[in-house]
């Protein structure tokens, strides 16, 4: 089967930095994606890694280690609007497998 | 259109009834996906189309579920003899043809089976 694991919930303070981890075991790998999903809304694309290393995109960065089956999403200078669920997804050939999501609560 | 459009946004039906959920993808996107999402869970893969054909329908839970995409654009997910366990948000997504093949999701259809 395909396993993608992320913490269920995290809490962080406005202005701080938070790291959301994702580990995966899949039969194939064509890329790792992070999506943001606000309550009651559809997921929206945040970042993509296919090679090992760090991809930086403004306040958000994502890291991948293929040998370890591990990725993280780093959110800097947290804002209240960053309160949302963050979904880790692995592209395996043409199918995307999603984790259950990490609900991030940003408090003042 | 500018984004992925799904209709209806909400559907309430009775157990045993038939429902159709519609998805209109982004123009030019040949790949189209249906996912199902329950509260507190990530999207669960149902079926993937490349053009008109169902390239992978391994996620459909049973033969009550069927999807079509006759002209390679709009897709319809059909559920027969609905059950209470079918209640969920049904998400449609199309993906960009060039890497990274990121998914663009519609707003979903909230299906409630009473």
Q: Are A82 and A13 in contact (CB under 8 A)?
A: no
B44 vs chain A: nearest CA distance in angstroms? 7
Query: Would you say A70 and A5 are in contact if contact means Cβ atoms under 8 Å apart?
Result: no
Neighbour tally for B91: CB within 10 Å = 24
B1 pLDDT band, cuts 50/70/90, is low
Q: Which residues pair with B108 in a beta bridge?
A: none
Over the stretch B56-72, which tens digit does the pLDDT of each residue have?
999 999 999 999 999 98
Q: Is A40 a residue whose pLDDT tops 90?
A: no
Cβ-defined contact of B42 to A44 (cutoff 8 Å): no
SS3 A94: coil
For all residues of chain A together, what is the average pLDDT? 95
Give the DSSP H or E segment for A79.
none
pLDDT in tens, A91-105: 998 889 999 999 999
- Band of residue B2 on the pLDDT scale cut at 50, 70, 90: confident
Q: Could you read off the pLDDT of A55-96 as tens digits, one per residue?
A: 998 999 999 999 999 999 999 999 999 999 999 999 998 889
User: CB distance A95–B42 less than 8 Å?
Assistant: no
CB distance B114 to B17 below 8 Å: no
Listed in order, strand segments (DSSP E) in chain B are 5-7, 10-13, 19-24, 31-37, 44-50, 53-56, 65-68, 75-79, 88-95, 103-105, 109-113
């Amino acid at each position: 089967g395909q396993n993608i694991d992320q913490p269920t919930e995290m809490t962080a303070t406005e202005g701080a930095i938070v790291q959301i981890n994702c580990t995966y075991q899949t039969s194939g790998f064509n890329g790792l994606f992070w999506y943001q999903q606000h309550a009651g809304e559809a997921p929206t694309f945040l970042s993509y890694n296919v090679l090992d290393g760090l991809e930086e995109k403004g306040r958000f960065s994502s890291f991948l280690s293929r040998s370890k089956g591990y990725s993280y999403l780093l959110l800097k200078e947290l804002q209240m609007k960053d309160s949302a669920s963050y979904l880790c997804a692995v592209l395996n050939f043409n199918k995307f497998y999603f984790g259950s999501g990490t609900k991030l609560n940003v408090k003042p | 259109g500018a984004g992925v459009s799904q209709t209806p946004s909400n559907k309430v039906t009775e157990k045993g009834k038939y429902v159709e959920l519609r998805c209109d993808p982004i123009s030019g996107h040949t790949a189209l996906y249906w996912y199902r999402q329950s509260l507190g869970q990530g999207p669960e893969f149902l079926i993937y189309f490349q053009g008109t054909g169902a390239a992978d329908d391994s996620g459909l839970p049973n033969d009550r579920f069927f999807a079509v995409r006759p002209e390679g654009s709009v897709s319809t997910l059909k559920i027969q003899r609905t059950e209470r366990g079918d209640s969920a948000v049904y998400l449609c997504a199309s993906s960009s043809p060039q890497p990274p093949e990121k998914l663009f999701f519609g707003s979903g259809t909230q299906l409630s089976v009473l």
